[in-house]
């Protein structure tokens, strides 16, 4: 969920778009999906206090971690 991870994932997607190869785009998509799945799993494990520290309500967090990994 770090902003660094988001920036790195976005850079990989842009690089894959520039190269244009199907394999590069598939690798970038799979990496992004894995990152989302990990982030949402970690988010689901946070306590209410931890959620407050990052500025989320339990309801907002539940909406986010309920999303499938392929939804951005």
pTM to 2 decimal places = 0.67
Q: Are 69 and 37 in contact (CB under 8 A)?
A: yes
- Tell me the pLDDT tens digit for each residue of 9-64: 777 777 766 667 888 888 889 999 999 999 999 999 999 999 999 999 999 999 99
d(CA 35, CA 9): 8
Question: What per-residue confidence (pLDDT) applies to 16?
Answer: 64
- In Å, what is the CA distance from 9 to each residue of 2, 21, 24, 30, 59? 11, 17, 13, 10, 26
């Amino acid at each position: 969920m770090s902003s660094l991870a988001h920036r790195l994932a976005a850079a990989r997607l842009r690089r894959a778009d520039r190269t244009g190869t199907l394999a590069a785009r598939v690798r970038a998509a799979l990496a992004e999906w894995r990152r989302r799945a990990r982030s949402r799993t970690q988010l689901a494990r946070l306590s209410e206090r931890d959620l407050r520290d990052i500025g989320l309500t339990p309801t907002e967090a539940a909406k986010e971690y309920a999303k499938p990994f392929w939804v951005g």
